[in-house]
Amino acid sequence: MKTPRHFKRWFDGWPDLVCFDLDGTLVDSVPDIAASVDAFLAEQGVALAGEDRVRGWVGLGSAKLIEQAMAWADLDPNKHEECYSRFLKHYFEHSTDKTKLYSNVKELLKAFKHQGVPVALVTNKPGVFIKPILDHFEITEHFGWFLGGDTLAEKKPSALPLLHCSEAIEAEPEKCLMIGDSITDFRAANNAGFKCALVTYGYHQGVDLASLGADAVMDDLAELLI
């Protein structure tokens, strides 16, 4: 397979490691996340947030998400543990009801596999949710690492999760790539010394991705194979 133009320019070949974000990059998980947010809000007897509003909150980890939802609903912050627990329980039971895989995810993963490129999943989502989602879409086999927001002592935008993967295979950071959808992913890549490609269709909290200085900003993952 011909080396894609981005990889040829960045690495003079294929990357030594690729780290993927999950929510907003590989899958659109907001419908199920929003339903779980609304489940705990309903139990608290307050207005439901709805999918559109929750879409603007996603990206900083689930604990922060619940904090934002509670603040919006004017709930007592001391109820965070109770609300978070209810959210996690509902989401664990419904994490793939309406979640969808974005276009060309499987094609890109297959290309990396064909070229022997190690691939990691690095998300701020609690680790317990990762494998069930990957299993549902039958893409688990493509990942050598599953790192959730609670796997290591630090999570994105810390460099630690990315460097944990690169150091495991003795890959130089400048030969590695982070693919995500948010400023959190960009900052993690920048902190680790990785190249960074961002997708425009995900959850970027209103941030203009083009202004960040990422190595590539794409409307479709297939652009990495051109």
Annotated catalytic residues are 21
Distance, in Å, from the CA atom of 218 to the CA atom of 86, rounded to the nearest integer, reads 36
- H or E element at residue 100: strand 100-101
Q: Per this entry, what is the length of the chain?
A: 226
Q: Per-residue DSSP letters for 114-170?
A: HTT--EEEE-SS-GGGHHHHHHHTT-GGG-SEEE-TTTSS--TTSSHHHHHHHHHTT
Long-range contacts (CB closer than 8 Å, 24 or more residues apart) made by 90-93: 90/35, 90/36, 90/39, 90/40, 91/32, 91/33, 91/36, 91/62, 91/129, 92/128, 92/129
